[in-house]
Amino acid sequence: MSSLRQFTITAILVLASLSVATKEKAPETPTPGTDTVHGCYKSVGTMKNTSHDEFNTQGACAKVCRGLGKLVGASLSKDCWCGDQYPNKADLVDDDQCTEPCPGFGDEACGGLDTWTVYNIGIRVSVGEADSSSSSSSGPSKTSSVANSPSDTIETITASSSPDNNNKSNTNVAGIAAGVVVGVVVISGIIGGTFFWMRRKRNAEIEEEHRRNAAVNAFISGGKPPSSSGGVSMTDSRLDPVMNRRMSDGSIADNQDYSRRILRVTNA
């Protein structure tokens, strides 16, 4: 019975220590050279996600921001944000909303459910706050709560911008393809026209050469040269030696001397 009682007391103490360990520290007065809790906020304002640490703590995040020369830092579980301004005071919430134990030291709270633990790094005591327009719970908070690392955020941005890039690349490819097709058609038309023109010219030259050869052959053999017009040609019969011989048959004898008068007697 005493053992059960002792176990119960021990469990209560452990639970109590855990509840105390994960509670957000109250805001502290900034001190040069050391990090101090500024409060629990529902946004990070103008701060940027700079690191992802499996053993993140308030001191580890402050060291990262100090190395970057930033004035303030914020933690949410394993992620660390850095910047030069506190979030707007309108985004300040109760400390009991930052109850997420830091992975590297469970006695400290590193944010909560869409909340961040904000620190002063210790570089400068007097630090301004972001405008209300730059501190939006629907902007950085949702992106930060989903992303587990800076690489996740980069992948999300890349994925959202990829449709536009795809549309542009598709448009460029379509334009190039259309230009290539038009160029091929034009070049084919020029080549085809040149081929038919040269073929027609060659045929005309062959036909003209054939006509000249036929005329020469006809002239040599004594025949009638072909007419280029294809009509009936008229020739002088006197130039035909055959016709001349026929006409001379039975006419005046060529071997007689007709220069002297010859008296011929005939019976009437």
Tokens of residue 28, six digits: 């502290």
Residue with tokens 């060291």: 63
CA-based nearest residue to 73, from 107, 111, 101: 111
The pLDDT score that the predictor gives to residue 183 is 87
Q: Is the confidence at residue 147, as pLDDT, over 80?
A: no
User: Residue range 184-205: average pLDDT?
Assistant: 88
Instruction: Identify the weakest region by mean pLDDT among 50-54, 105-109, 113-117, 236-240.
Output: 236-240
**Residue of 10 and 59 predicted with greater confidence:** 59
Instruction: Identify the weakest region by mean pLDDT among 71-85, 89-103, 134-148, 205-219.
Output: 134-148
Mean pLDDT score of the chain: 74
- Quickly state the pLDDT bin for 254 (edges 50, 70, 90): low
The pLDDT score that the predictor gives to residue 143 is 39
Instruction: Judge whether 117 and 111 are in contact, CB under 8 Å.
Output: yes
User: Residue range 18-44: average pLDDT?
Assistant: 81
CA-based nearest residue to 110, from 62, 154, 67, 46: 62
Tokens of residue 53, six digits: 């640490």
The pLDDT score that the predictor gives to residue 111 is 93
User: Residue range 140-154: average pLDDT?
Assistant: 41
Q: Say whether 141 sits in a helix, a strand or coil.
A: helix
Q: Is the confidence at residue 79, as pLDDT, over 70?
A: yes
Q: Measured between alpha carbons, how far is 89 from 42 in angstroms, rounded to an integer?
A: 10
The pLDDT score that the predictor gives to residue 177 is 83
CB proximity list for 118: less than 8 A, separation 6 or greater: 37, 38, 39, 40, 41, 44, 72, 73, 74, 86, 87
DSSP letters for 191-242: HHHHHHHHHHHHHHHHHHHHHHHHHHHHHHHTSPPPPTT-S-----GGG-HH
b/e for 164-180, b at 16 or more Cβ within 10 A? eeeeeeeeeeeeeeeee
Separation of first and last alpha carbons in the chain:
199
Instruction: Judge whether 118 and 66 are in contact, CB under 8 Å.
Output: no
The pLDDT score that the predictor gives to residue 214 is 84
The pLDDT score that the predictor gives to residue 119 is 92
pLDDT tens digits along 220-245: 876 555 555 544 444 555 555 555 55
Instruction: Judge whether 47 and 101 are in contact, CB under 8 Å.
Output: no
Q: Is the confidence at residue 66, as pLDDT, over 60?
A: yes
The pLDDT score that the predictor gives to residue 265 is 58
**Ranked by mean pLDDT, which of 64-68, 192-196, 204-208 comes out on top?**
64-68
Instruction: Identify the weakest region by mean pLDDT among 114-123, 133-142, 191-200.
Output: 133-142
pTM: 0.44
Rg over CA atoms, the chain: 58
